[in-house]
Each structure stands twice: as C-alpha cells, then as structure tokens.
C-alpha cells in the first residue's frame, strides 16, 4: 500500500539538471590552471553532493581553496551552455503538480542554481528552492530537506526525497522522509544508492510517478 505523500523534494545537480559536463569541466579546468593533478572523472563523480570547498580539499590538498572555488565559479558563470535538462523533466514536474504534489528543491549548490533552473525552464515549477547558502549543514544532514518542507507546510512523513547521490538519500532518511528515491542518470551509482538505503532506484525521472 502506497503511503500518502503531499510533496516531493528534489536534488538539483544530476537529478533535475544534467550538469555533468558543467561541473566536471569546471573542476578539470580549475585544477589544471592551478597546476594540480586532475583526477579521473569517476573519482570526481564519487564526491559529488559535497560542498564545493570540501571537494577541493580532497582534489587539491594544501591548495588555495578560496582561489580554486573562485575560478570554478567564474568558469561556470561563463559556461551556462553546458547545462542541459533530462528527458521528460518538464513533463514529470507538470504531472506531479497536476496531481496536487508540492515541489521543492534542496541543493548543495550555492552559486548559479537559479540561473540553471531558469535555463531549463523549471524555476517556476518549484514551490520552494533551498540552496547551499541557505543552510549551515549539508547533506546527508537533513537541514535543507526539512527547511524545504517547513516552507511548504508539509511534515517529513508526507514527503519524498529524490536524488542522484548517497548524500541525497541520506538527507531524506535522516529527515524522516516517507520515501527516498535514487535516480541513476546523474553522478551516483545504482550500487551506492542502494547501499545508502534508497527505497527505490530508477533510471528516469518519469519512473518516479508510478511510485507515488
């Protein structure tokens, strides 16, 4: 028997937004520009979902973290064309809204989130948008997830968390979500999502609709 849910909270990067090249190229460009070894893409992907500063502490230990993050930010500001949307994105959100679900976004991204959402045409589909700058603790801490629900006046046991990384699933689990759903088209692997305890793992956004 399906649980009664009133809201769906989505991660942004790798879940709603195909920002794989937008993010990976920013890391590669920045690390190379400062003379750091550029890790394999699978290694970079394995750290997605963490705050930017934390990632650069891993990728460039001992480096000038503030300078690296600034160059990363400048690269992305000049390369919005690398952002794409996933298949059936707008259709999925429209279907959820037509069925009465509230829609929130909880992202670790601090910069360029609104611009990215506008680029793919979904900013106005969201009832609330929580970015990295809006919280003091990042996923898998549930602060952002719970803050989104509070803004929508929805209790965690009536909400679903959807994301592409273990951190997203962890945020939903730690926040008491009724359901957590992992998607495989972003940065995380199916195995990692299952290991974190996702209730369901799907390959496409539209696959979540029958689960609600």
Which amino acids are annotated catalytic? 11
154-178 b/e (C-beta count within 10 Å ≥ 16 → b): bebebbbbbbbbbbbbbbbbbbebb
| Cβ(106)–Cβ(145) below 8 Å | yes
DSSP E strands, the chain: 7-10, 17-18, 84-85, 102-106, 128-130, 159-163, 179-183, 200-202
Q: For residue 49, how many other CB atoms are within 10 A of its CB?
A: 28
What are residue 67's DSSP bridge partners? none
Helix or strand holding residue 11 (H, E): none
């Amino acid at each position: 028997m399906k649980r009664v849910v009133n809201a769906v909270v989505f991660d942004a990067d790798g879940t709603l937004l195909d920002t794989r090249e937008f993010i990976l190229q920013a890391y590669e460009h920045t690390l190379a520009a400062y003379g750091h070894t550029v890790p394999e893409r699978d290694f970079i992907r394995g750290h997605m979902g963490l705050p930017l500063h934390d990632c650069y502490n891993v990728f460039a230990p001992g480096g000038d973290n503030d300078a690296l993050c600034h160059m990363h930010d400048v690269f992305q500001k000049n390369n919005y064309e690398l952002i794409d949307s996933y298949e059936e994105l707008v259709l999925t959100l429209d279907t959820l809204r037509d069925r009465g679900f509230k829609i929130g976004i909880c992202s670790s991204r601090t910069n360029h989130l609104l611009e990215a959402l506008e680029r793919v045409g979904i900013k106005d589909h969201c009832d609330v948008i929580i970015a990295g700058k809006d919280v003091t603790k990042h996923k898998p801490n549930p602060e952002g997830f719970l803050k989104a629900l509070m803004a929508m006046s929805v209790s965690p046991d009536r909400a679903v968390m959807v994301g592409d990384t273990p951190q997203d699933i962890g945020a939903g689990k730690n926040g008491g979500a009724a359901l957590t759903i992992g998607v495989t088209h972003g940065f995380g692997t199916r195995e990692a999502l299952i290991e974190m305890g996702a209730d369901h793992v799907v390959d496409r956004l539209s696959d979540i609709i029958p689960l609600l």
